[in-house]
Chain A
Amino acid sequence: DVQLVESGGGLVQPGGSLKLSCAASGSTFNNLWMHWVRQAPGKGLMWVSRINGGGSSTTYADSVKGRFTISRDNAKNTLYLQMNSLTADDTAVYYCATVGFDYWGRGTLVTVSS
């Protein structure tokens, strides 16, 4: 089994930045592709980004491309999401998930508001 714990969410002003973390345990993290998925309050799920096990291949949803950066530190078993130029539309619970979407964290809430 894999355990995932997100952190780093909070209140940020429009145009601001935030960096989310996802700490993994229980498996060989550096072999796992990982995803970020978000869910705006009362809305459905939206896939945000993915990264391969070595960190050399990344993909983004169009709505975050150029603003968000996914990365990982395999020595620390941690996945990251650097979010810049945030807008109200980025307000959501952000989840990390493993390659097959079979393990998810509990999520961390990001609120973009002045």
Chain B
Amino acid sequence: EVQLVQSGAEVKKPGESLNISCKGSGYYFISYWIAWVRQMPGKGPEWMGIIYPGDSDTRYSPSFQGQVTISADESTSTAYLQWSSLKASDSAMYFCARTKTYDSGVTGFDYWGQGTLVTVSS
């Protein structure tokens, strides 16, 4: 069974660092892209960036470039989203999701993690 299991909710102070994770199982981890998606309260999803664990090819949305770091560890089938200095405006739900690309198309984000709620407050 394919699963993406994310780390638990976090409560942090502004200026602190944070690393949240997304562990894949039930499929060949390095063959699928993993995206990170932010959803602020009451708002729609926003694509932050994506990584291909097979070669660590990483793309960022311009809105998030330089604000976060996306990485993956092939040995543990885990993708990460990292902040070096959190702001109150980073408070949101964060989802990971997988997708696969082919010459003839894409599969869509067919599996999603359960979400990690990040709260940043002084």
A and B: interacting chains: no
A residues with a Cβ closer than 8 A to B are none
B residues with a Cβ closer than 8 A to A are none
